[in-house]
Amino acid sequence: MGNDLSIWTLVVDASPIVQAVLVLLMLASISSWAIIFRKRRIISRSRTTADQFEADFWSGGDLNELYRRVETKGREGTGLESIFESGFREFSRLRQQNLPTDELLEGSRRAMRVAQLREIDRLEHNLAMLATVGSTSPYVGLFGTVWGIMSAFHNLGNVQQATLAAVAPGIAEALIATAIGLFAAIPAVIAYNRFADQVSRLELRFDTFMEEFSSILQRNSGVRAAPAAQGR
């Protein structure tokens, strides 16, 4: 390898174990960035649709009309829209059976809770992958570094005179594994903490809406409800 200490040369001349570690870390980094961009788009869309739906919901319009508009979206409805649709549909279905108000509200809450859990699961999907990359990448990189240093010192035993020029390339190629491990871990940890906080805030927002909507249904239980809709 001589005195060429460029990063590409160090990677090419690294031992197979170190190269395998570098490939694994790069794949983990690419995967985490793909998740980051996708998750950012999903959460941003969920927050935007929640803002739009709350503006419509609290505008004082007819709930039956709002329900019909949300229902036409089908599977495109997410977040608060999905929670509202599930709760209102169940309330309408149970009300046709002339059940007491308490049973109507309990059934509506259960339907909204199921929709909320489904939505939270969608928002949290792949967050565990970010946590895994963020927590394990430094250790994987450290393993590559330790292995590379061991190889460097082993090769040093085959030369007559140990000099810095002889050991520097081996140490340098080993430290690249640590650098790549941190490169993969740091964005994943930052993204995971940020997305987890945003999902928690959305979950609290969903809980608040469910309580407010349940109170509205209880106060206006005499209002004519839309016919029970079929499943999506």
Q: Provide mean pLDDT across the span 22-45.
A: 94
Long-range contacts of 106-113 (CB under 8 A, 24+ apart): 108/214, 108/217, 109/210, 109/214, 111/86, 111/87, 112/83, 112/84, 112/86, 112/87, 112/210, 112/213, 112/214, 113/210
CB 108 within 8 A of CB 94: yes
Confidence (pTM): 0.79
Q: Which of 163, 168, 134 is nearest to 148 (CA)?
A: 168
Q: How many other C-beta atoms can be found within 10 angstroms of the C-beta atom of residue 94?
A: 20
Query: 149-178 pLDDT, tens per residue?
Result: 887 777 666 666 656 556 666 677 778 888
Greater confidence (224 vs 74) lies with 74
- Boundaries of every domain in the chain: 7-219
Query: 123-145 pLDDT, tens per residue?
Result: 999 999 999 999 999 999 998 88
Report residue 231's pLDDT band, with 50, 70 and 90 as the boundaries: very low
CB 78 within 8 A of CB 122: yes
> Looking at residue 198, what is its pLDDT?
95
Task: Tell me: pLDDT of 3 over 80.
Answer: no
Q: Provide mean pLDDT across the span 211-231.
A: 65
Structure tokens belonging to residue 76: 């495109």
Q: Provide mean pLDDT across the span 182-207.
A: 95
Task: Tell me: pLDDT of 79 over 90.
Answer: no
Greater confidence (181 vs 14) lies with 181
> Looking at residue 200, what is its pLDDT?
95
* Average pLDDT of the chain, as a whole number: 83
Q: Provide mean pLDDT across the span 78-82.
A: 85
CB 149 within 8 A of CB 15: no
Task: Tell me: pLDDT of 209 over 90.
Answer: yes
